Structure 1
Amino acid sequence: MADKLSAQHNPKQNHLLAVLPEDVLMRLAPQLELVPMRLGDVIYEYAEQLQHVYFPTTAIVSLHYVMENGASAEIAGVGNEGIVGISLFMGGNTTPSLATVYTGGFGYRLKARHLMEEFNRTGPLMRLLLRYTQALMTQMSQTAVCNRHHSVEQQLCRWLLLTLDKLPSNELTMTQELIASMLGVRREGITEAAGNLQRAALISYRRGHITVLDRSGLESRTCECYDVVKKEFYRLLSDTGTAKQFPN
């Protein structure tokens, strides 16, 4: 079974791993462990000491803050374009956020010490991860601005587009309740916004399944935040080849 899974998956399905020089990837490859990342899995908890980093391939992980009253909101999503666990190489080693899987799939897990051994060579991996971190910080800051200043419908369009950028298809398995939790808004707001998009024939929503019917239409209804994030990923990562899912 393990051999069959390995044949279906490859570390280069993650865009950061795919653009590493072959000698760097060869050093890391024996330590990369293919792991299932199931919907709802907690990758790490608040203030947890990081033992691993994750390179998603077909899964998507939500980074979000949880308030004392249990309310939460997503600050960023990480899919096959990135890495989960940036606090490790940024020097903090723990994180104030929670990381959970919201689109199930697979990814590669790497022990913290193996990542840091390669990072501390101050070579291609270090430069790539620092660029990615800057792009991720742009996504985080833009999410905060968007949640404060833009309508629920605009936020939903932004979230759908950023999620689609991390998937091979135009379909998502996601309940309105979960999306509301991601965006930190009331479920009724998501129901109304999704209804508007469905009546405009931009999406089809049925029993927790969302199909995007008109991507360009979504792009016309979203705020500038999606474009800001997309352009920053492209600016920072275009010369590495990892920005191909963010066309300029």
Structure 2
Amino acid sequence: MMRNRLLAALTGDDRQSLQLCMVDMVLPRGLELSLPNDPVEYCYFPTAGIISTVVVSPKGNQAEIGIVGREGMSPSSAVSGVDRNPFRTVMQLDGRGWRIRREDFLRNLEERPSMRGILLRWVQAFSCQIAFTALSQSVHNVDERLARWILMCHDRVEGERLALTHEFLAIMLAVRRASVTNALHVLEGNGFIYSQRGVIIMRDRAALQAFAADAYGECEREYSRLFTVQSQAVGVP
């Protein structure tokens, strides 16, 4: 459980209480964890892989608003007691994690104020990510936005390989696949990444981060601010 930073930040008693209600499971890429406006049955705490949170319009248009890896849980709306939302959550990269029924999760939050405090910090962190995604979609070009998403995905995996398909990248950026291809060519041409079918390999993260400029970093700093104390207490980097 310590591989998930939220679970690691909990007290031992809080973590044990949750674990009694949890199931450790494989989360393969493409697995849909929740659908728009359907009742949320489970909450997930990934220990590997990436969950994509996608907003879906009534006409079926989609755009990614946030991602969750081992630093958090999904859906964040469950923390406030909301039983459904207009989002689709799906595994973007193969992973593993802990699953808990929403009612068991809410019962623990109600009974354990210290746990609720940690999870409310996560709601703030994820809300910040959504806000900066909206800002980036408004003011940054496609190349910078792609650099941001690649950096965010790289933060949440081990190693340099990212199994990101053009389809998912198009949803991330809310653009056509042709625009994804063009943006990948720009990043690859600059030596930041190497791109092949369904896989992106990080080559020069520092240069990619410099290229992304202010498209990347603010929500990461907010997460660090919110969780530094807890992370240091449990030895999580």
Q: Into which bin does the TM-score normalised by the smaller protein fall?
A: over 0.9
- Trace 1:156-175 onto structure 2 (pairs within 5 A): 156-175=146-165
Q: 2:204 — aligned with what?
A: 214
Partner residue, 1:144: 134
Residue type matched to 1:78 in 2?
Answer: V
Listed as ranges, the matches of 1:82-231 within 5 Å are 82-231=72-221
The letter for the 2-side match of 1:107 is G
The whole-number CA distance in structure 2 between the counterparts of 1:113 and 1:70 is 30
Separation of aligned partners in 2, 1:200 and 1:174: 19
Any idea what the Cα deviations from partners look like across 1:210-233, whole Å, max 9, x if unmatched?
100000011011031311111111
- In structure 2, the residue corresponding to 1:80 is in which secondary structure? coil
Q: Indicate if the aligned counterparts of 1:52 and 1:112 stay in contact, CA closer than 8 A.
A: yes
AA matched with 2:91? V
Contact kept? 1:43, 1:100, Cα under 8 Å: yes
The alignment partner of 2:216 has SS state of: helix
* Residues 193, 201 of structure 2: 8 Å contact kept: yes
How many Å apart are 1:30 and its aligned residue? 2.1
Q: What per-residue deviation string (whole Å, max 9, x for no partner) do you get for residues 8-38 of structure 1?
A: xxx2111111121111111121221012211
State the distance in 1 between where 2:85 and 2:223 align.
22
Residues matched between the structures, number = 235
CA deviation vs aligned residue, 1:169-219 (integer Å, no higher than 9, x gap): 111011223201221012122111111111111100111111000000110
Unaligned runs of at least 5 residues, structure 2: none
Match of 2:60 among 46, 67, 70: 70
- Seq. identity, %: 29
Q: Is the 8 A contact 2:81 2:106 kept in 1?
A: no
* Partner residue, 2:34: 44
Taking the aligned partners of 2:164 and 2:120, their CA distance within structure 1 comes to 31
**Distance in 2 (alpha carbons) for counterparts of 1:201 and 1:225:** 19
Paired with 1:28 and 1:91, the residues of 2 have a C-alpha distance of 17
User: Cα deviations across residues 115-173 of structure 1 (Å, max 9, x unaligned)?
Assistant: 11221124221011100110100000110110111000000010011111111111101
Normalised by the length of structure 2, the TM-score is: 0.94
Question: Structure 1: which 5+ runs fail to align?
Answer: 1-10
SS at match of 1:185: coil
RMSD: 1.7
